[in-house]
């Protein structure tokens, strides 16, 4: 083999080896950036990122921003902060089931309204969540198997979100102002009563009681003020009557002059 061909072959071989090393280093660097137990894959043509059973205590920050399906189920995540998923504009499915989520801040799902079509929050520790946390979200939401407090807030939340078909029966009253509701499906309870209407009536009654209290205080003060002045006037008249006639007339004239 001519020397020139040997040199060319060696150069090509070295170039391919260098490219392989660079590719391997890139893969290792990307893998090292992911939390332990998390890995990317592709399922049915969709880019998926799985972190199931990874012992996570917060939402990972290094999730690829082209992820379509994100699985964070069966971890130890306690709450969802504001803008937790803001860097995932292409996310279609989000699974947060079987965590310890007890709080969802307003704006936690901001940036997902346009594309997200499935959100699973089942089997967590949600007791009460503001409807604003799901503002503008069009996804089908699963809220079953949480220790819900059945009240007006939950009623407003249920009216705001689009529940996954068949999941409403799993939204059960773990606690309620009325003991007979505990253990019942929330939709069954609100079929017979309106928590928000009851709350409004209670608030109205409280306002009326407060206003009546203030009104009674004002009336009491006015009565006291009038009686006190009458008592002072009576004492003054009795004092004038007790004076000798000339002095009394002088006192009365002085009083009249002062008044005029």
pLDDT tens, residue by residue, 224-245: 665 666 666 666 666 656 656 5
The answer to whether residues 184 and 59 belong to one domain is yes
Domain span at 210? 194-232
How many structural domains comprise the chain? 2
The DSSP-derived string for 228-251 is HHHHHHHHHHHHHHHS-HHHHHHH
Q: What is the pLDDT of residues 173-194, one digit of tens each?
A: 999 988 999 999 999 999 889 9
Q: Give the residue-averaged pLDDT of 91-103.
A: 98
**Is 41 within the bounds of a domain?**
yes
Q: Report the range of poorest mean pLDDT among 66-70, 114-118, 155-159, 213-217.
A: 213-217
**Is 22 within the bounds of a domain?**
no
Among the candidates 143, 177, 193, a domain finishes at 193
The answer to whether residues 138 and 223 belong to one domain is no
The answer to whether residues 221 and 169 belong to one domain is no
Binning the chain into helix, strand and coil, the percentages to the nearest 5 are 45, 15, 40
**Is 244 within the bounds of a domain?**
no
Give, in order, the Cα–Cα distances in Å from 57 to each of 71, 88, 99, 100. Answer: 14, 19, 9, 9
- The Cβ-side half-sphere exposure at 32, using a 13 Å CA radius, reads 6
DSSP 182: T
Average pLDDT, the chain: 80
Alpha carbon distance 38, 48 (integer Å): 11
The answer to whether residues 189 and 219 belong to one domain is no
The answer to whether residues 182 and 200 belong to one domain is no
Query: pLDDT at position 114, please?
Result: 84
The answer to whether residues 65 and 127 belong to one domain is yes
The answer to whether residues 218 and 118 belong to one domain is no
**Is 245 within the bounds of a domain?**
no
pTM score, whole prediction: 0.66
**Is 72 within the bounds of a domain?**
yes
The answer to whether residues 223 and 136 belong to one domain is no
Predicted confidence (pLDDT) at residue 4 exceeds the cutoff of 80: no
Alpha carbon distance 101, 95 (integer Å): 12
The answer to whether residues 50 and 144 belong to one domain is yes
The answer to whether residues 85 and 206 belong to one domain is no
Burial of 197 (0-12, 13-18, 19+ CB in 10 A): exposed
Predicted confidence (pLDDT) at residue 106 exceeds the cutoff of 80: yes
Query: pLDDT at position 221, please?
Result: 59
């Amino acid at each position: 083999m001519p020397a020139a061909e040997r040199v060319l072959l060696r150069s090509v071989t070295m170039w391919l080896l260098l490219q392989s090393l660079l590719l391997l280093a890139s893969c290792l660097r990307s893998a090292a950036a992911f939390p332990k137990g998390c890995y990317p894959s592709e399922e049915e043509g969709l880019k998926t990122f799985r972190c199931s059973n990874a012992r996570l205590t917060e939402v990972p920050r290094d999730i690829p921003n082209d992820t379509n399906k994100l699985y964070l189920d069966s971890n130890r995540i306690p709450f969802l902060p504001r803008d937790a998923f803001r860097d995932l504009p292409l996310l279609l499915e989000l699974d947060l089931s079987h965590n310890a989520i007890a709080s969802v801040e307003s704006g936690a799902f901001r940036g997902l309204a346009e594309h997200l079509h499935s959100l699973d929050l089942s089997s967590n520790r949600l007791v009460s969540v503001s409807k604003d946390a799901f503002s503008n979200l069009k996804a089908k939401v699963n809220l079953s198997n949480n220790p819900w407090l059945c009240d007006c807030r939950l009623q407003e939340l249920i009216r705001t979100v689009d529940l996954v078909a068949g999941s409403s029966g799993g939204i059960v009253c773990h606690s309620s102002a009325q003991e007979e509701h505990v253990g019942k499906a929330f939709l069954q309870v609100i079929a017979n009563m309106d928590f928000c209407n009851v709350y409004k009536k209670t608030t109205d009654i409280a306002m009326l009681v407060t206003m009546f209290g203030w009104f009674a205080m004002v009336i009491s003060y006015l009565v006291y003020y009038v009686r006190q002045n009458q008592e002072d006037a009576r004492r003054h008249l009795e004092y004038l009557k007790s004076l000798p006639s000339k002095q009394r007339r002088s006192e009365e004239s002085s009083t009249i002059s002062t008044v005029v």
